[in-house]
Chain A
């Protein structure tokens, strides 16, 4: 279904910021070239490494789920460039509010992927240090975190940590969310709050074309990035499978935030190449041809092609990254299996800052009850 404008004409396809073609060719861009002018061969190689490691963590997690080691996994396959590109645009002091799929962002923020596995294994509900990584807890309730990011940004604003010109002080906040999430009231409220308060937040929407089984048309009739205009801040659509373009566009948006110029909506146009989660069966609702089409735009292949083309890396480098990914995988498998199960009474530990009398009693009752089995066994 195409959307007719008032005049009855079909608007042109929205412009997509692209710096690397699917074939790995660097295309010039009037506006965004400057934003990555400082990027060296080392930077490219290190981004390539992040992409590969991100994909490997993901692939290992899917395998661990299949083996019964994880309860569930939400795969990022296909979205590596959107995640690495945006994450690499962050400064140490910036803060990230993720969904449940930002595993490569987590990696870039120094979160130990074992912590992600722990959550999906069902041993905890988010155990990484959010102060240290500035990567906040995963949020499963769709869209809720966009308001948290906005509020956090309002706090940054009140602390005077924007617009000082000090690159180590000025702080931006980035909220990740999906195309489906844009329908939620919370997300629309976040847009309003950010706009009205001019909060230093970047709304980074990974439009992976699907919300479980529902295609984009079920959520919107205009390209998502254009929604920003109605809320009163800029919106931009970027090729989400192009790590350089994602880096450039995110850098611009984050810097606007740090400079006190307010929010930006970035729509990273990408594709969920895997199932929604390990319990989903996408063959029920989408054609394989679509996947095949997107495979040609693979976010990692194009960087590799670019590197080969420009002599930015030799085979030894690629082999080295593979080797590193393999070692990480081995580590993850072992570390995941070694994660200790929580003890039953641990469920009472952090309901409140101080345990309430009621919970102390319930905990006591549980202990006594469980001990009675131990006694039975002993007898």
Chain B
């Protein structure tokens, strides 16, 4: 067991993937000598060389577009986008090229590209550094979209994503980067990449979340437990494909569901979860599915972001609503 935070866990995962497959490359702005602005790639260039850890020109379309070419040539590029808001100059390449190549080629061409994106708020940053654009990728067929919430998942999921032959957008919860846990780095992952996990079993209501909001929901569950209410918290982990088996199972027992994410409400992942749960568990539901999300405004200035973001109280308030219904 090794105590790792999420940054160190992803770093260790990248390192293992690079050791086991010489085709794995890391590329992005400042990922080399600096080790990335969050130090996720710290030391990799020193150990694997400039050919495998590439400080790219400052151009996201270029990062993704050249990754496509490298992948066609047999490499497995892991692209780092410095912050959530800066993926959009590369969005055209992701949506029109990365997502569709396999389909267009009738399955002949595979693009095993991982696009790492630190995302989410609550870090007191200026514009474009706190966004949660995951739904804009989930909406695109051909992309897999996953997100980790803790160091153990971070360590395994990055390796699983790199091993996958489909392109993966890998969202990293930057506000949780420094959360620590014991990781069995020599063991085996206990779950496939594309599956949800019950983060906390419970009996009275179900709370589904992912990425940075899992901890918020676990904290909410702890507070609810003090009041004698048992919440089951599910970490969705994979947003595309969306694995809702654990959610259905839970909702059939609790009859109540709250979905939580930082991203905007409209057409967010919560909307999809609510729709599917309504289809699958209609007769089990005791109340409408509640969403606790960011509002439908641009990400606000830092001094008011805590009011914008879901927190423990808003989660509990939504749970209350499912009981009051």
The verdict on B47 contacting chain A, using a C-beta distance below 8 Å, is no
Q: Which of B53-61, B67-75, B95-103, B187-195 contacts A (4 or more CB under 8 A)?
A: B53-61
- Contact A366 B295, beta carbon cutoff 8 Å: yes
Complex contacts, B125 vs chain A, CB 8 Å: 71-72
Partner of B57, one of A186, A213, A219, A369: A219
From A339, which residue of chain B is reached at the shortest CB distance? B303
- Contact A213 B89, beta carbon cutoff 8 Å: no
- Contact B58 A219, beta carbon cutoff 8 Å: yes
- Contact B127 A213, beta carbon cutoff 8 Å: no
- Contact A344 B61, beta carbon cutoff 8 Å: no
The verdict on A212 contacting chain B, using a C-beta distance below 8 Å, is yes
- Contact A347 B128, beta carbon cutoff 8 Å: no
From B36, which residue of chain A is reached at the shortest CB distance? A213
The verdict on A362 contacting chain B, using a C-beta distance below 8 Å, is yes
- Contact A72 B126, beta carbon cutoff 8 Å: yes
Docked complex Cα distance between A213 and B31 (Å): 9
Kindly provide the distance from the CB of B277 to the nearest chain A CB, expressed in whole angstroms: 22
The verdict on A44 contacting chain B, using a C-beta distance below 8 Å, is no
Kindly provide the distance from the CB of B271 to the nearest chain A CB, expressed in whole angstroms: 13
From B65, which residue of chain A is reached at the shortest CB distance? A185
Complex contacts, A315 vs chain B, CB 8 Å: none
- Contact A186 B58, beta carbon cutoff 8 Å: no
The verdict on B312 contacting chain A, using a C-beta distance below 8 Å, is no
- Contact A351 B297, beta carbon cutoff 8 Å: yes
Complex contacts, B29 vs chain A, CB 8 Å: 211-212, 214
* Residue interface mask A349-378, B partner, CB < 8 A = 1: 001000000110010001001101100000
From A71, which residue of chain B is reached at the shortest CB distance? B124
The verdict on B34 contacting chain A, using a C-beta distance below 8 Å, is yes
> Restricting to B287-315, which residues have a CB under 8 Å from any CB of A?
295-298, 300-305, 307-308, 313-314
Complex contacts, A344 vs chain B, CB 8 Å: 304, 307-308
Docked complex Cα distance between A11 and B305 (Å): 52
Docked complex Cα distance between A211 and B29 (Å): 9
Kindly provide the distance from the CB of B236 to the nearest chain A CB, expressed in whole angstroms: 24
User: How many of chain A's residues have a CB under 8 angstroms from any CB in B?
Assistant: 45
- Contact A214 B295, beta carbon cutoff 8 Å: no
Interface size class of B (residues with CB under 8 A): 35 or more
- Contact B297 A218, beta carbon cutoff 8 Å: no
The verdict on B241 contacting chain A, using a C-beta distance below 8 Å, is no
The verdict on A317 contacting chain B, using a C-beta distance below 8 Å, is no
- Contact A285 B58, beta carbon cutoff 8 Å: no
Docked complex Cα distance between A124 and B89 (Å): 24
> Restricting to A200-220, which residues have a CB under 8 Å from any CB of B?
211-214, 218-219
- Contact A369 B86, beta carbon cutoff 8 Å: no
**A71-B126, A184-B59 are known contacts. Are A342 and B304 too (CB-CB below 8 A)?**
yes
The verdict on A167 contacting chain B, using a C-beta distance below 8 Å, is no
> Restricting to A60-97, which residues have a CB under 8 Å from any CB of B?
71-72
From B305, which residue of chain A is reached at the shortest CB distance? A122
Partner of B128, one of A119, A140, A211: A140
Partner of A184, one of B30, B89, B298, B304: B89
Docked complex Cα distance between A96 and B35 (Å): 34
- Contact B301 A123, beta carbon cutoff 8 Å: yes
The verdict on B37 contacting chain A, using a C-beta distance below 8 Å, is yes
**A71-B125, A141-B89, A184-B89 are known contacts. Are A347 and B303 too (CB-CB below 8 A)?**
no
**A214-B30, A285-B33 are known contacts. Are A122 and B317 too (CB-CB below 8 A)?**
no
The verdict on B266 contacting chain A, using a C-beta distance below 8 Å, is yes
From A119, which residue of chain B is reached at the shortest CB distance? B126
Complex contacts, A119 vs chain B, CB 8 Å: 126
Partner of B34, one of A141, A285, A342: A285
Partner of B58, one of A72, A121, A211, A341: A211
* Residue interface mask B254-274, A partner, CB < 8 A = 1: 000000000001100000000
Partner of A140, one of B126, B302, B313: B126
- Contact A366 B33, beta carbon cutoff 8 Å: no
Complex contacts, A347 vs chain B, CB 8 Å: 295, 297, 300, 304, 307-308
Complex contacts, B126 vs chain A, CB 8 Å: 71-72, 100, 119-120, 122, 125, 140
Complex contacts, A100 vs chain B, CB 8 Å: 126
- Contact B303 A218, beta carbon cutoff 8 Å: no
The verdict on A284 contacting chain B, using a C-beta distance below 8 Å, is yes
Complex contacts, A351 vs chain B, CB 8 Å: 296-298
The verdict on A142 contacting chain B, using a C-beta distance below 8 Å, is yes
- Contact B302 A218, beta carbon cutoff 8 Å: no
* Residue interface mask B117-139, A partner, CB < 8 A = 1: 00000001111100000000000
Docked complex Cα distance between A142 and B86 (Å): 9
Docked complex Cα distance between A180 and B35 (Å): 18
Q: Which of B301, B303, B314 has the most CB of A within 10 A?
A: B301
Complex contacts, B35 vs chain A, CB 8 Å: 284
Complex contacts, B313 vs chain A, CB 8 Å: 373
From B123, which residue of chain A is reached at the shortest CB distance? A71
- Contact B89 A122, beta carbon cutoff 8 Å: no
Docked complex Cα distance between A341 and B317 (Å): 25
24 examples of A-B residue contacts, CB within 8 angstroms: A71-B126, A72-B125, A121-B302, A121-B303, A122-B302, A123-B301, A125-B126, A183-B58, A186-B89, A212-B29, A212-B30, A212-B37, A214-B29, A218-B56, A218-B57, A219-B58, A284-B33, A342-B304, A344-B304, A348-B295, A358-B266, A358-B296, A359-B295, A359-B296
A183-B57, A213-B30, A284-B35 are known contacts; what are 14 more A-B pairs with Cβ within 8 Å?
A71-B125, A120-B126, A122-B126, A185-B59, A212-B29, A212-B37, A214-B29, A280-B37, A341-B304, A342-B304, A344-B307, A347-B307, A362-B265, A370-B307
Residue positions of B touching A, CB distance < 8 A: 29-30, 32-35, 37, 55-59, 61-62, 85-86, 88-89, 124-128, 265-266, 295-298, 300-305, 307-308, 313-314, 317
